[in-house]
Chain A
Amino acid sequence: MKGYRRPDGRFGIRNHVLILSTVGCANMMVRKIAAQVPGAVALENSKGCGQVGSGREIMRRCLFNLTLNPNVYGTLVVGLGCETTKPYELADEIRQVSDKPLEVITIQDCGGSVRALERGVEIAQKLVEDASKVEREPMELGDLLLGTNCGGSDATSGLAANPVIGVVSDKVVAAGGTVMLGETTELIGTEDILASRAATPEVADDIYTIVHGLEQSFVEAGVDVRGANPSPGNMKGGLSTLEEKALGGISKGGTTPITQVVPYGVRPTESGLTIMDTPGYDIESVSGMTCGGAQVLIFSTGRGTPIGNPLIPVIKVTGNCETYARMSDNIDFDASGAVEGTSTIAELGESLYQMLEDVCDGAEPAAERLGFDDFSIFHNQEVWCTCIP
């Protein structure tokens, strides 16, 4: 396979110019800039100001790490100018660790939106022009960070789609690459199995910390996780309990030892099978893995979903032949042969791996082809007046 070599030695499988908003007040501006510059991708930010504590911390590191995603050639950071994200400071910090092209403007410093748009388009056009000169070079499977996610699961996800993804995960890990499991809500009930597969006692501790910590926060909030998980669609699809859903879910990580647990939006420093502490909400989970450096993601769905991502291709796999037939415009790979008894998990894993190679080499999975650019950063710890119920 071939990819775009970045200054840090990593390989992108796409060559995006990122127009990154640091605050909601600059969202319209990044949209307008990207609309005038084919080849530029706008990423909006639902927050970026008025945030404190871990919420601010998560937001900032996600913006930071997005610019480092190997699929990004270079970034134009666009701020309003007075937000807590501090766009110039953010850009300076990124420049200390990255030699990728990085520019920054604020609407206030440009002197209003008309001039900011003009300046932004000018910079973005130059970035796209420079990006187009990057040649694709040979890269190894071991250069990949493959994200995985489930969404709209049904019972076939655990019977077929996830074990088939697991075959691909094992191949990537065997080649020296990195695979990422997430969705901590959907690890509940599997923590003992995962911890027994941890590469070190510290990793086992981290697995228990994120799962028990999440359970504890449900208890403290007095909420019953069963209210949201399994979802109504999961139940209709034959999943009765959170544990059943989770046991089916973790098989997409394959069978190798778990080498690291990373916080939301953080890129792993270890290769092998890793876990990112992400929420169960698909868009936030996939977005977190994008911040964490995934170049591509394989997504299993029993009931069908169009979800994609602006920076990384999302390959959709279902184990449900009816869903595949009904939502063929959104789903790339039919793993139902493993349920129907017409093919084996190993055979299907091999063909899904071929599809992954094709996508790395430029083939567009459904979500990318149709332009699904769903993106949302998880931000916890909202502090706000709750005096009036």
Chain B
Amino acid sequence: MAKRALLMADADDVATVIEAVCAGDTVAVETKQGEAVEELASAHDIPRFHKIALRDMAAHDIVHKYGQVIGEATAPIKRGDYVHIHNIESIKTGVER
């Protein structure tokens, strides 16, 4: 049985898993209206309500959720990877780098 993940906007790079996911699990991505979008295999364990990558990204690529920018990748990210503070960060740091 595939684990559910929610896609907040069409062009998002990530989806939120609604159940805890184990590496190798199939994740079924659906819209807020419950329409099935796609399925993918998770590369990692992902805690409930955390994010899975829907496409490959390079370091410094902009990451989108809600159809908006939530930060940038700090390392290459593969489709199916767990996305969190280990591989994305805020662009609005408050301190100029």
Q: Which residues of A contact B (CB under 8 A)?
A: 154-156, 158-159, 188-190, 193, 215, 218-219, 222-226, 235, 237-238, 240-244, 247-248, 302, 320, 338-341, 345
Contact = CB atoms under 8 A, between A and B. Distances in A.
B70 interface: yes
Contact of A244 (B30, B47, B65): B65
Given A219-B96, A224-B93, A240-B88, A193 B47 contact: no
Chain B contact residues, majority secondary structure? loop
Contact of A226 (B18, B49, B90, B96): B90
A37 B90 CA distance: 51
Given A159-B8, A341-B4, A341-B34, A238 B92 contact: no
Contacts of A189: 69-70, 90-92
Given A154-B49, A155-B49, A240-B51, A226 B94 contact: yes
Contacts of A243: 68-71, 90-92
**9 closest cross-chain pairs (CB), A and B:** A218-B94, A225-B94, A241-B71, A244-B70, A155-B49, A238-B49, A241-B90, A238-B50, A247-B66
A225 B49 contact: no
Interface in B41-62: 47-51
Interface of B: 4, 6, 8, 16, 18, 30, 32, 34, 47-51, 65-66, 68-71, 83-85, 88-96
A155 B50 contact: yes
Given A189-B90, A189-B92, A241 B70 contact: yes
A242 B4 CA distance: 25
Contacts, number: 95
A226 B84 CA distance: 14
B92 A215 contact: yes
A345 B33 CA distance: 10
Contact of A219 (B4, B49, B91, B94): B94
B36 to A, nearest CB: 12
A16 B88 CA distance: 48
B86 to A, nearest CB: 9
Given A224-B93, A238-B47, A159 B16 contact: yes
Contacts of A193: 68
A223 B65 CA distance: 27
A226 B93 CA distance: 6
A324 B91 CA distance: 33
15 contacts: A156-B49, A159-B8, A190-B68, A215-B92, A219-B94, A222-B95, A223-B95, A225-B92, A238-B48, A240-B85, A241-B71, A243-B68, A243-B91, A247-B68, A320-B49
B6 A339 contact: yes
A14 B51 CA distance: 43
